[in-house]
Structure 1
């Protein structure tokens, strides 16, 4: 058991020791039950691998809040996929987060900020809405995996981020594990996979993966950028 009076760092250490190598369902259930009952959310892009995390969550509790960062630039196929997964997995608490209208009118009236300052665009459309939504939460989970490479290659199962825990239930899965879950559970695929997209984000910043590239190389192509910012928050962030 985790000492609820322990520091966040100590909680993360204990949880990592006990949950490394555990199935995603076990990780989610452990956090929900022992650390954050009623104060736990799953953040999902409803991208090409999202069904694996959402299926694992649904097997634990389909009423856990699921947060989608709807930037206004999502592919229509992604929104359709969201609806399909909600029905298939019987998710009952999915909420879309949008950028603040006044903020958007001031900082991106022409809706071209993604080209001139992609970091500022992501901050306005993703980071700030998520910060607001996670206020009061004790922990949140996401679908990052070590095999995605880059900054993700060494992520722990549980880490400290500001005033809460961030949970990576799929961290240790490899591509074969993900594919096996899709096949054995007959999970629906994102429709853009058939078009050559292995990682799907916003329309202006997503392209098809080229032969020999890594999974996320189609994101922010040609930019000095590999993450949107929600996984790079400072110690006082969300």
Structure 2
């Protein structure tokens, strides 16, 4: 079988999620579709992020912590609006994996003084597929200053873990790109981030699953601003 080589580039990643390098990982942010043909495997994944990365329809609505006044639609989040939010992302056990708040990041030992990441509200266009589906749908009908807790299943976040996204590639491909294979190292293949999970004398296995695949996630969200969509 004719082998189509892939270009691998070492990433320096400060990974504290989706939500979030989210540049904030945008947590949440998904990358472009990937096609890795070295092993005859096509990988096409919609994870947000930012397609977090595209996203599937919301299968179960998140819990609503409050019931905002929806009589004035200019004050509530609707599809097409550009919104800015602060968020704290947590696993079921309460461990914080990502946040837009620097104090929370420091408390959770996520802050890296040497990182170029900035901690600030995350902005996105609601319904544009820029976010994982549960987050995107969860902010609908919120108002400025409102706080809400979103509890997302894998289907609403980064999907279930998929064994088909484990792709072996020739070790020589990495070495020819001046990459020393190491377990856990992040690389870019065909515009997608992958993690090296196995190394043999001849092959290296890349994992294209999101690190958050298969996990239930909780996001504490606060709406900072709403810029209404143009009526044109």
TM range, normalised to the smaller chain? under 0.3
TM-score, normalised relative to structure 2: 0.25
The answer to which structure has the higher helix fraction is: 1
Q: Report which of the two structures shows the higher radius of gyration computed on alpha carbons.
A: 2
TM-score, normalised relative to structure 1: 0.24
